């Protein structure tokens, strides 16, 4: 397929595009350049591309609600010539989900890839996430652990000053670089204390601390730590001398601060507990922490909410007859299939609000509802048939023979299905699993749910029930 079919379709509004593109030196393709420079409307192009390429469109909210995996991209980094116009964003049950502006040329046949269209801005954001700029790292390191700033003298203050200074600017400076306790003033950082002092208290900060250094409250903290290192509720003579000396100092401070205060502060600094803390690297950024536990899905945890189990009251579609696969299978397995419909729809109630079994025709070109539970209300037309060659959630399952598990992208077929079967309301989440008999797809099992069903537990249940439903059934 030609990569410039889009140009032929939109050529009337692209006058002079080629000349502007060649002179720009852009690293994007001609299509990417046209979309980037707004010479071609992204909405108009994608509407055409969905129909022309027969591919679904991935909504922008995927990129805000799903945390993309660096590990996944590293695994497939050399698999293809990825760019800001074609990029893998997830892998699902052996299939690689690839977002693109148009189908890529010479794409490898393994592994199975599900191509989806999306806006250029979304692919560029994902590309930037997988390729962080080198300049960003030093800037973050400077804020978190300013160990590269030249040291300055810290003779005129101690860490205890941080617990008593009323100056809000000093407190903000301290909190941005090191984690301190406001009650006892002991530092809890992992980096070198001397470097931390130099980074935190250079320039105006030192001046502010020196300005309040003669206050009685600060001297109370420093002198008590020097003269009475042991717990001193008891009236020890040394402690009494310190207190009485403190009272005297409080009265003498306004005319002239005692010069002996500075040496005492200098002597106390080596005893600060922070100096014994081993040096270590700053904590890694949160985005690098990836949860790969079994209870996680798409690198983020969602609470699993189970509903009270109940017995379904299934309704079998009287119009699902003739050349539809499950209707023919039902005739050959009449003794078991009705019981299985009831069992499957009952167990689906654990994680899904509503569930339904769909059946395909023999040519696998369309599907229709076969049976559903009693929770479906306001159904418009039970005979409505939905094509499988047009982009939709059913097209994805039919073309890949893999489950679909996630939110619903809006398009004509998806909206028409939920308009008929869910009173026009698109659910937050759907799970669709294929029903396979002797390697041939005969139907699908679909469950409607809220966001809490977006986990491996609900998917595993649906896959298990699909297998149990078709187990040992005779093919038509």
Pairing status of strand 366-372 against strand 386-387: antiparallel
**What pLDDT band is residue 45 in, cutting at 50, 70 and 90?**
very high
- pLDDT the model gives residue 197: 36
| Confidence (pLDDT) at 31 | 93
Domains of the chain by range and CATH?
5-130 (no CATH), 141-276 (no CATH), 315-470 (3.30.450.40)
For position 429, what pLDDT does the model report? 95
pLDDT per position as a tens digit, 84-117: 999 999 987 778 899 999 998 888 877 788 899 9
Mean per-residue pLDDT over the chain, rounded:
72
Neighbours of 241 (CB within 10 A): 12
**434-475 pLDDT tens trace:** 999 888 899 999 999 998 888 999 999 999 999 999 887 766
Four-residue CA torsion sign, 72, 115, 464, 454: positive
Give the separation between CA 130 and CA 73, rounded to whole angstroms. Answer: 7
- Residue 196: the pLDDT is 38
Q: How far apart are CA 185 and CA 278, in angstroms?
A: 18
- Three-class SS string for the chain? CCCCHHHHHHHHHCCCHHHHHHHHCCCCCHHHHHHHCCCCCHHHHHHHHHHHHCCCECCCCHHHHCCCCHHHHHHHCCCCCCECCEEEEEEECCEEEEEECCCCCCCCCCCEEEEEECCHHHHHHHHHHHCCCCCHHHHHHHHHCCCCCCCCCCCCCCCCHHHHCCCHHHHHHHHHHCCECCCCCCECCCCCHHHHHHHHCCCHHHHHHHHCCCCHHHHHHHHHHHHCCCCCCCCCHHHHHHHHHHHHHHHHCCCCCCCCHHHHHHHHHHHCHHHHCCCCCCCCCHHHCCCCCCCCECCECCCCCCCCCCCCCCEECCCCCCCEHHHHHHHHCCCCHHHHHHHHHHHHHHCCCEEEEEEEECCCCEEEEEEECCCCCCCCCCCCCEECCCCCHHHHHHHHCCCEEECCCCCHHHHHHHHHHCCCCCCCEEEEEEEEECCEEEEEEEEEECHHHCCHHHHHHHHHHHHHHHCCCCCC
Q: Which residue has the higher pLDDT, 2 or 400?
A: 400
Residue 188 is predicted with a pLDDT of 43
Position 233 confidence tier, pLDDT thresholds 50, 70, 90: low
pLDDT of residue 284: 55
- pLDDT for 52: 92
**Of the listed ranges 34-43, 258-267, 372-381, 384-393, the one predicted with least confidence:** 258-267
pLDDT at 337: 83
pLDDT grade for 324, boundaries at 50, 70 and 90:
confident
> pLDDT by residue (tens digit) across 378-392?
998 888 899 999 999
Q: Rounded mean pLDDT of 177-202?
A: 40
- By mean pLDDT, which of 127-131, 173-177, 354-358, 374-378 is the weakest? 173-177
In this prediction, residue 163 carries a pLDDT of 41
What is the pLDDT at residue 413?
Answer: 94
Q: So what's the pLDDT on residue 171?
A: 38
pLDDT in tens, 386-417: 999 999 999 999 999 999 999 899 899 999 99
pTM: 0.43
Judged against a pLDDT cut of 50, whether residue 175 lies above it is answered with no
Q: What is the mean pLDDT of residues 165-182?
A: 40
Model pLDDT, residue 308? 55
Tokens 């139907």 appear where? 443
Q: What local confidence, expressed as pLDDT, does residue 252 receive?
A: 43
How confident is the model at residue 294, as a pLDDT? 43
Reported as a single tens digit per residue, the pLDDT across 272-321 is 544 444 455 555 555 444 444 444 444 444 455 555 557 888 888 876 56
Rounded to whole angstroms, what are the CA distances from 402 to 43, 336, 358, 435, 466?
Answer: 29, 26, 15, 10, 12
Is the separation of the CB atoms in 1 and 103 below 8 Å?
Answer: yes
Give the closest residue to 189 by CA, choosing from 171, 198, 177.
Answer: 177
């Amino acid at each position: 397929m030609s990569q410039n079919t889009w140009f032929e379709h939109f050529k009337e509004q692209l006058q002079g595009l080629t000349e502007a593109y060649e002179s720009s030196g852009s690293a994007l393709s001609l299509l990417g350049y046209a979309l980037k420079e707004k010479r071609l409307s992204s909405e108009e192009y994608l509407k055409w591309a969905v129909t022309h390429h027969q591919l679904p469109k991935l909504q922008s909210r995927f990129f805000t609600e799903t945390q993309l995996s660096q590990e996944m991209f590293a695994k497939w980094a050399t698999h293809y010539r990825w760019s800001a116009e074609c990029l893998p964003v997830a892998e699902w049950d052996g299939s690689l989900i690839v977002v693109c502006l148009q189908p890529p040329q010479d794409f490898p046949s393994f592994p199975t890839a599900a191509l989806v269209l999306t806006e250029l801005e979304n692919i560029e954001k994902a590309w930037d996430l997988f390729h962080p700029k080198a300049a960003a790292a030093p800037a973050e390191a400077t804020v978190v652990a300013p160990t590269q700033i030249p040291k300055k003298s810290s003779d005129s203050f101690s860490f205890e000053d941080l617990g008593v200074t009323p100056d809000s600017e000093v407190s903000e400076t301290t909190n941005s670089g090191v984690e301190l306790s406001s009650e006892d003033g002991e530092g809890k950082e992992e980096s070198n204390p001397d470097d931390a002092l130099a980074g935190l208290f250079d320039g105006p900060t030192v001046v502010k601390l020196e300005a309040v250094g003669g206050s009685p409250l600060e001297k109370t903290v420093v002198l008590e730590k020097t003269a009475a290192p042991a717990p001193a509720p008891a009236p020890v003579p040394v402690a009494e001398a310190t207190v009485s000396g403190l009272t005297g100092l409080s009265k003498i401070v306004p005319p002239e601060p005692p010069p002996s205060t500075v040496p005492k502060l200098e002597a106390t600094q080596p005893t600060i507990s922070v100096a014994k803390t081993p040096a270590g690297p700053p904590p890694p950024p949160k985005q690098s922490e990836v949860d790969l536990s079994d209870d996680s899905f798409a690198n983020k945890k969602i609470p699993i909410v189970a509903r009270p189990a109940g017995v379904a009251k299934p309704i079998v579609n009287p119009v699902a007859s003739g050349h539809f696969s499950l209707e023919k299978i039902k005739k050959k397995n009449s003794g078991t299939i009705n019981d299985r419909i009831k069992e499957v729809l009952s167990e689906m109630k654990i994680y899904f609000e509503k569930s339904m079994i769909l059946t395909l025709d023999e040519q696998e070109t369309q599907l229709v509802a076969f049976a559903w539970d009693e929770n479906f209300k306001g159904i418009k037309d039970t005979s409505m048939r939905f094509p499988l060659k047009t982009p939709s959630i059913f097209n994805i399952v039919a073309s890949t023979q893999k489950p679909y598990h996630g939110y619903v992208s809006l398009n004509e077929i998806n909206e028409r299905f939920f308009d008929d079967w869910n009173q026009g309301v698109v659910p937050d989440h759907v799970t669709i699993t294929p029903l396979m008999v002797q390697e041939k797809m005969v139907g699908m099992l679909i469950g409607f749910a809220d966001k809490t069903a977006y986990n491996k537990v609900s998917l595993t249940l649906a896959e298990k029930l699909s297998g149990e439903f078709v187990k040992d059934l005779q093919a038509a």
